[in-house]
Amino acid sequence: MKMESKNNIAKFKILKCIINENKFIHKSDIYEKTKVPIEQINVILKELEKSGYEFSFNPHLGYKLVKVPEEYNPTLIKAGLNTEIIGKQINTYKKVNSTNKKLLANTNSKEGMVLLSEAQFNGKGRRNRKWVSPEGGIYLSILLKSREDRKYIPIFNLIGAISIAESLKELYNLPVSVKWPNDVVLDSKKISGVLSEVDSRSENRMVMGIGINVNIDSKQLPPRSISVKEYLQRSENINKLKLIWELLKNLEEKYFLYKNNKLKNIMEKWKYYSGLLGKQVKIFSGTGEILEGYVNNIDGSSGAMILRTDTGLEKVILEGTVEKI
């Protein structure tokens, strides 16, 4: 048991070192950086290859990680994470009912805990809608804490959606936009959705759930959906891990802004990624009302939409589905 965990620590160090390098690295440099003896580095590299990692080897330059297995491995996920709290605790699964449901049920989870599954039997959307969750997508939930004075769900949905949009733009240059309150769309098709929920037992425990269509054929998805792989017309699978690292880093950055009451920055990002500001829209509100008007703004503290109706009234809408007219 002790040997096993020592080997795991060495594996973690080596992976972190190779991932951070992000280019070829010599074994001697791996040793310099990790202090894992060269013989053990050799053994670990072989073990990693056996479990699906692929390295490109150049006798002059050394090793470079080119492919990681599709299966999640918490050690590897942690190795590439650049965060302070999000993802310090990670649980991974092959298939669960719903990552949100599972995380909400886990009363021992700490702030920043991440739960990831390769697929879901019964992925949830808002108001009992379904989130179709075949293998090839990212399905994750994160435990967060809301500020005492800001328990609004829409702001969490916006933080999630903006972070997803930013990550997809930074990594693949996708021309994505954020559709209030919780969708990320590409070419008017949905590529990702966010579902934030409050833990009914403890009001400031929030679970933010994120689904992203990554390596999925849209034939498996509802109409008007798209995946990253499909949009980019790649034959090789997209590296989900890289996207997870980028996403959790971006998310933590926004989460800290929220915690420190610096919401102005989040609203600026929303303005950048939203195609909606100033546009004429129809809103099917959470209370069943249908409203028409122009999107005036998003309220910085709650994430609610401020709609100016034809009669000049300003309406504050916390939840709903929006359509451009």
Site residues (CB under 6 A) for ligand BT5? Answer: 98-100, 120, 123-126, 129-132, 139, 141, 182-183, 190, 193-195, 209-211, 213, 221-222, 225
Q: Which residue sits closest to ligand BT5, CB atoms considered?
A: 193
- Smaller CB separation from ligand BT5, 62 or 193: 193
Q: How far apart are CA 151 and CA 203, in angstroms?
A: 8
- Shortest gap between Cβ of 166 and ligand BT5 (angstroms)? 18
- Shortest gap between Cβ of 282 and ligand BT5 (angstroms)? 16
Within 10 angstroms of residue 102's Cβ, the number of other Cβ atoms is 18
Q: What token pair was written down for 243?
A: 């996207």
- Smaller CB separation from ligand BT5, 98 or 250: 98
Q: Which helix (H) or strand (E) holds 290?
A: strand 290-298
- Smaller CB separation from ligand BT5, 15 or 194: 194
- Shortest gap between Cβ of 273 and ligand BT5 (angstroms)? 16
- Shortest gap between Cβ of 138 and ligand BT5 (angstroms)? 8
Contact 235, 67 (CB under 8 A): no
- Shortest gap between Cβ of 322 and ligand BT5 (angstroms)? 10
- Smaller CB separation from ligand BT5, 289 or 314: 289
Q: Where are the beta strands (DSSP E) in 132-220?
A: 138-145, 177-179, 183-186, 189-198, 205-212
One-letter amino acid for residue 99 of the chain: T
- Shortest gap between Cβ of 164 and ligand BT5 (angstroms)? 11
What is residue 205's three-state secondary structure? strand
Backbone angles phi, psi at 62, to 5 degrees: 105, -140
- Shortest gap between Cβ of 133 and ligand BT5 (angstroms)? 6
Of residues 86, 18, 94, 4, the one with CA closest to residue 54? 18
- Smaller CB separation from ligand BT5, 80 or 181: 181
- Shortest gap between Cβ of 124 and ligand BT5 (angstroms)? 4
Backbone angles phi, psi at 119, to 5 degrees: -155, 170
- Smaller CB separation from ligand BT5, 5 or 287: 287
The DSSP annotation for 95-129 comes to EES-HHHHHHH-TTPPTT-EEEEEEESS-B-GGG-
Q: Which helix (H) or strand (E) holds 15?
A: helix 2-21
- Smaller CB separation from ligand BT5, 194 or 298: 194
Q: Which helix (H) or strand (E) holds 266?
A: helix 263-273
- Smaller CB separation from ligand BT5, 177 or 213: 213
